[in-house]
Amino acid sequence: MADETTLKRAIFWAAVALLAFSGITALSLVAWFATKSDPWSWRTVVALLSVAFGLTAGALVWRAPSRVHVFAGMGVLAFSLLRIGRPSVWTTSTYALLLVTVLLFVPLVRAALLLPRS
């Protein structure tokens, strides 16, 4: 069992990871909309939903930490990966997106391991 300080720190970083994910995704959407004449596609909708659900999950992890909320945040990160498409169309940006998403998973996994089972 983790001590109180370690648990609070893990919860804090899990919430920060979700909020950072939402912020990065929102900035990428702004850039996408600024550079494309027709930016709407199913990938855009997935990214918009990921921002909204990422903010929600981050707020829930921060205000009412539980394993369920952390798992919801993990689900948001996994859901966001739907937008990368088939491996045959991957670019350098796709690999960067995968790397950032995996790195943001780490604090969520740590928080899920430290939070008590309910």
Domain boundaries, the chain: 4-114
pLDDT at residue 85, as a whole number: 86
pLDDT at residue 1, as a whole number: 59
Q: pTM of this prediction?
A: 0.92
pLDDT at residue 117, as a whole number: 86
Nearest in space to 110 (alpha carbons), one of 21, 13, 22, 19: 13
- What does the alpha-carbon distance between residue 31 and residue 60 come to, in Å, rounded to a whole number? 28
Look at phi and psi of residue 40 and say left if phi exceeds 0, alpha if psi is from -120 to 50, else beta. Answer: beta
Digitized pLDDT (tens) for each residue of the chain, 118 residues in all? 568 999 999 999 999 999 999 999 999 999 999 999 999 999 999 999 999 999 999 999 999 999 999 999 999 999 999 999 888 989 998 999 999 999 999 999 999 999 988 7
